Amino acid sequence: MESWLVQSIFLGALAGLIPSPHTYFCHEAARLNDKKILFLAIIIGVMIDLGIISLVKFLKPSSYSLVFILLFGMIYFFILARKLYFTSSSTRKCNFSIYDCLKSHLFNPNPYLFWLSIGSLYLNGDSQFYFILSFLTTMVLMKLLHINILLILEKKILTNRFLIIRNKTLSIAFVALSSKFMIEGIRVIKHVL
């Protein structure tokens, strides 16, 4: 088996299993049994990843764009963490729009950082199309598996209290990510100057 195939499956599986704002919105759509929003959310995530890949491949971003991505991501994650902390998920109707899902993937620095670093190593050569296809397919499948496992677990322990605790835990994780992006942004600024 080709080494790029194994690596794309491994990296795609990791990307699909790591909690993110996009996964949160996809999970909420699945929890509320809104298949249309879930489908659109998955398609939006793939399309934004393809856009990021195009940017990285053809524009060759600079250190300044990396600082912008990190600091913008820091602000976005902090705002999202605050919103999640004070939100009760007890509602049975969808309290977000597809625009929120779009923002959740577009403003998340992690896909940019992945494709600027590890992913850029695979964007040259004959197998780049197959790497991207394999990576994105595996990521989507693992994200759907991740969401379905959470839904099965929630059916056993689904209470309003559980959902509130989940939101507060996610908000704390997003504040930690926001802090990480701030530290990385400062480190890049020091390196550039």
* pTM of the model as a whole: 0.80
The domain spans of the chain are 3-192
C-alpha–C-alpha distance, residues 118 and 53, integer Å: 12
On whether the CB atoms of residues 25 and 101 are closer than 8 A, the answer is yes
C-alpha–C-alpha distance, residues 119 and 49, integer Å: 11
For the stretch 56-112, pLDDT in tens is 887 776 777 778 888 888 888 888 888 877 776 555 555 567 787 788 888 888 888
